[in-house]
Structure 1
Amino acid sequence: MTRLEVSLGLKYSTQAMVESVERSYGVVVNSFVELEPEYAELYRKNGRRAYYVGPLSLSTKDEAEKADRGKKFNPELEGLITWLDKEEENSAVYACFGSLNEFSADQLREIALGLEASGQLFVWAVRDINRQNEAEWLPEDFEERVKGKGVVIRGWAPQIAILNHRAVGGFLTHCGWNSTLESISAGVPMVTWPVDYEQFVNEKLVAQVLDIGVSIEREGKKVVKAKEIAKAVKNVMGEGEEAEERRMRARKYAVKARAAMEESSGSSYLEMNRMIEEIREHSHRTANI
């Protein structure tokens, strides 16, 4: 498939999505009202029905299930949680850029060196596509140098379990919405590094509106250097007043996220009930026309 065909495909799929939204009865949103009340109100004032029923990542409360999910597909995960159990609270940063984003070998090398230079414990999940030609992107003797300080996971990682572990105090992320909401739900501040699509908008929400994240300094599509990565990680993981206030804000949003999902009283629980009732009434009316 050519670059033009990919571009046209994205164009028409986006157009179809917009048209579908315009024809729909309403929109179901994986978010919660307390996270972005002004935006929720603005959307409704524009005449659109929206139901905020998230964070969906909190629908599974069994921590053991979260940790074990997918483990049979990736034997490298054995011992990861045990290793984190031995570390101090908020001492490790988790780095993951989702399943769709692909970095160059040069960029992956800078990420590795940046995590090492930060001086923080880390868990770095590298997507499957980058497992080939490791010699091109993984610095020589890297895993030996960071042994006991960092873990490189190749492929799938139990992200929700990692983010909710007490030892994890920061998340280096591409700002995909699922990852962003999972970090918010865990009360973990973020180092933001959007790559594509709506991720840049999500970054502004995290770093500028909610003030629970720090943006990595970058220039267009140029390779982000290790020093900039290390600088942002140190900022989020630091012990100063600014970092502690950021952690406190993140924890407050985590409390709100969990409250939203509470049965009978949570805003997302009530939104789900409202959606069911309104769709039921709508179906009844249209059936009698």
Structure 2
Amino acid sequence: MDGKGLIIRGWAPQLLILDHESIGGFVTHCGWNSTLESISAGVPMVTWPMFADQFYNENLVVQVLGIGASIGSKSFAMFGEGADLVNRDDIDKVVRRVMAGEEAEVMRRRAKVIREMARKAVAEGGSSDSDLTSLIEELMQHKAAREYK
């Protein structure tokens, strides 16, 4: 096997894998957890949504953040029935877009910048940290007010 590649059967530590320096891209169905994990790791994405909010998440990654490329799936898939067919050429083309060339470098740089923004937001004093603290304080005030009555 020449020391390259790894097959994991069953559960895999996705966050640890995405955070590894050798990861250049992530093929994702665009579920919210996987999307956030990839953003937090600063890894560009090949997006392959299948249903529900995954198409909206794909738009965020590809159109808004500019850190991914779409595989081309455009319709709701129900266990393979009625879904857009994606062939090996589609997959090859979009993986190459994310992994090699100037466009890939731009995505990679943007993904790293967004990763740092996300880390600052959840760090102590960051916007997410402050907002969560404010929410907890407000809930505690409501609880105290109910107990006072």
| Cα deviation, residue 150, structure 1 | 3.5
Could you tell me how far 1:175 is from its partner in structure 2?
A: 0.5
Residue of 48, 53, 65 corresponding to 1:210: 65
Q: 1:275 aligns with which of 135, 139, 142?
A: 135
Contact map agreement 2:67 2:110 (CA 8 A) in 1: yes
Equivalence for 2:91: 229
- Aligned partner letter, 2:116: V
1:169 alignment partner, SS class: coil
**Cα deviations by residue, 1:241-278 (Å, 9 ceiling, x for unpaired):** 22111111100010011111222x21121122101110
Q: Of 179, 182, 189, which residue of structure 1 is paired with 2:44?
A: 189
Equivalent position of 1:57 in the other structure: none
Q: Which amino acid aligns with 1:216?
A: I
Q: Structure 1 vs Structure 2: percent identity of aligned residues?
A: 53
Are residues 1:252 and 2:107 paired? no
The separation in 1 between residues aligned to 2:74 and 2:52, in whole angstroms, is: 17
Residues in 2 aligned to 1:172 and 1:216: alpha-carbon distance in whole angstroms: 9
Runs of 4+ in 1 over 4 A off after TM superposition: none
Tell me which of the two structures has the higher relative contact order, counting C-alpha pairs closer than 8 angstroms and 6 or more residues apart.
Answer: 1
Structure 1, unaligned runs of 5 or more = 1-146
> 2-side partners of 1:235 and 1:190: how far apart?
10
Cα gap change, 1:226/1:152 in structure 2, threshold over 3 Å: closer, same or farther? farther
Q: Output the aligned Cα RMSD.
A: 1.5
Q: Secondary structure at the match of 2:26?
A: strand
Distance 2:73 2:48 in 1: 9
Q: Match for residue 153 of structure 1?
A: 8
For 1:98, the equivalent position in structure 2 comes to none
SS in 2 for 1:154: coil
2:78 paired residue number? none
Q: Corresponding residue for 2:146?
A: 286
How far apart, in 2, do the equivalents of 1:281 and 1:175 lie?
Answer: 37
Corresponding residue to 2:34 among 165, 179, 199:
179
Gap regions ≥5 residues in structure 2: 76-82
Structure 2 length-normalised TM: 0.87
Superposition deviation, residue 219 in structure 1: 5.6
Q: How many residues align?
A: 141
Larger Rg: 1
CA distance, structure 2, for counterparts of residue 161 and residue 190 of structure 1: 16
Q: 1:179 to 1:219 in 2, by over 3 A?
A: closer
Rounded to whole Å, the distance in 2 between the matches of 1:236 and 1:150 is 19
Between Structure 1 and Structure 2, the one with more strand by share is 1
Query: Within 2, Cα distance between the matches of 1:203 and 1:219?
Result: 10
